[in-house]
Amino acid sequence: MIAKQLLPVVLAAAGFVSAQSSDKCTQDTFKINSQADASGLSGCSTLKGNVVIGENSDNTIDLSGPKKIDGDLQCKNNGKLITLKSSSLGEITGDFLLQNVTILSTLSMSGLTSVGSISWTSVLELQKLGFTTGLSKAKSVRIADTKIDSLDGIDMTTVALMDINNNHRLVSFDSGLTSLTDTLNINANGAGLQVKFSKLKSVANMTISGVSSFDVPSLSTINGSCAFVENDFKSFSAPNLTQTNSGSILSFVSNNALTNISLPAVTKLGGGLLIANNTALEKIDSIPKLKQVTGDIKFRGVFNTVSMPALDDVGGAFDVVSTENITTSCASFDKLAPAKYVKGGNGHIQGTYTCKGKIENANNDTSGQTGKSGTGSDSSGNKNAAGAVTVNGLTAFGLVAVGAFFQLL
């Protein structure tokens, strides 16, 4: 009889304890200001809610215990945190955000394999990632303004966005990515940065600046626009690239060591091609199969040879100007020009047509704009011939697009 009377009390007490435990592990925001706060959550397998480390936290925060954070892990404007670690955490479903965490030097999350995204900016003393197992899943990765010298541990095969900039000790990046669906930005990292994407097959938008080598031997598809600006590599090669898709722009601008652009398998560019102010590039002759460009072609430089023997269809303007004599090269393109620019031209170039050599300021023009009215082919060596070219901004072309990329990132 007594047992029957006690049973509801026992069950009620058990329910109360269970509710307490559940409430402890589920909150809108878990505020961590001390190691005691973190240790108080060690009994939770999953933390349901955002974990926020405060601005005045202890020097060391150990989040060991929970295996999953169903939300964000954030730390902003913290000048005290030196060590952030967890031996148990394997997944963060939201954003792993570190912003202006100025003295954090040790990050150790040996079991972390999956995050919604990584966004680290101004983590000024961080040198190592501390992902021992390897991060295999993330939608986006942004790492900027750190002392990181290696990205070992970033092991995703597919990512939407990757932005690596202003990490001045980073001189090597070897990635196993196979697909990048939105944007790749690599800019202003360590001097002589060598980048290798040996398995990358597909990219959307890409802006690469300040690298000494960029290796993409497997790249076969470009779905957006790609800009290579102010790099130090001597050559660029994409041996398996066959075409770029509609609206894309491929740009090589102000790469002063560049002597060769090799696109041996490309047959179609679904947008435009801009090559300008690459002061060591004397020949543009390694795009042998290019047949169709749906947008504009603009070349500016010191080159003495331009050869695209398969070219037969340009939907936009053709605007090629060099400081050197390119009379022979221009003769091969004159036959494709509209007849109003070159007598006998077949009009397979459907926009304005300009092909000129011996223009002393040719290398200064990297605007992505082309001749509004065109000037035909000129081999007279008239230094002022370029003055006859009035310009007209073409849709999403040249450095206008390049600048837009940087603003988006």
Q: Mean per-residue pLDDT for 332-348?
A: 97
How deeply is 43 buried, as exposed, middle or buried, from its count of CB atoms within 10 A (0-12, 13-18, 19+)? Answer: exposed
pTM listed for this prediction? 0.86
Say whether pLDDT at 299 is over 80. Answer: yes
Q: Which residues contact 106 (CB under 8 A, 6 or more apart)?
A: 82, 83, 84, 85, 128, 130
Q: Which residues contact 348 (CB under 8 A, 6 or more apart)?
A: 312, 313, 314, 336
Please name every residue paired with 112 in a beta bridge, in sequence order, or none if there are none. none
Phi, psi of 129 (to 5 degrees): -80, -40
Per-residue pLDDT reduced to its tens digit, 265-292 = 999 999 999 999 999 999 999 999 999 9
The pLDDT value given to residue 187: 98
Q: Mean per-residue pLDDT for 318-339?
A: 98
Do 392 and 271 share a domain, yes or no?
Answer: yes
Q: Shortest CA distance to 279 belongs to which of 334, 312, 232, 316?
A: 232
Domain membership of residue 359 (yes or no) is: yes
> Which of 104, 131, 156 marks a domain boundary?
156
Do 144 and 270 share a domain, yes or no?
Answer: no
Indicate the DSSP class of residue 10.
Answer: H
Per-residue pLDDT reduced to its tens digit, 21-41 = 458 999 999 999 999 999 999
The total of structural domains in the chain comes to: 2
Domain membership of residue 120 (yes or no) is: yes
Question: Is 263:288 a contact under the CB 8 Å cutoff?
Answer: no
Domain that holds residue 105: 27-156
Please tell me the distance from the alpha carbon of residue 103 to that of residue 184, in angstroms, as a whole number: 28
The pLDDT value given to residue 314: 98
Question: Is 104:127 a contact under the CB 8 Å cutoff?
Answer: no
Q: Mean per-residue pLDDT for 327-340?
A: 97
Do 267 and 391 share a domain, yes or no?
Answer: yes
Question: Is 220:202 a contact under the CB 8 Å cutoff?
Answer: yes
The pLDDT value given to residue 252: 98
Integer Rg of the chain from CA = 28
Domain membership of residue 210 (yes or no) is: no
- pLDDT category at 373 given cuts 50, 70, 90 is low
Domain membership of residue 402 (yes or no) is: no
Question: Is 36:16 a contact under the CB 8 Å cutoff?
Answer: no
Domain membership of residue 227 (yes or no) is: no
> Which of 128, 156, 184 marks a domain boundary?
156
Say whether pLDDT at 324 is over 60. Answer: yes
The pLDDT value given to residue 366: 65
Domain membership of residue 272 (yes or no) is: yes
Tokens describing residue 367: 């605007």
Say whether pLDDT at 241 is over 80. Answer: yes
> Which of 134, 156, 178 marks a domain boundary?
156
Per-residue pLDDT reduced to its tens digit, 91-121 = 999 999 999 999 999 999 999 999 999 999 9
Domain membership of residue 294 (yes or no) is: yes
Three-class secondary structure of residue 372 per DSSP? coil
Domain membership of residue 336 (yes or no) is: yes
Per-residue pLDDT reduced to its tens digit, 60-89 = 999 999 999 999 999 999 999 999 999 999
Say whether pLDDT at 17 is over 50. Answer: no
Please tell me the distance from the alpha carbon of residue 268 to that of residue 271, in angstroms, as a whole number: 9
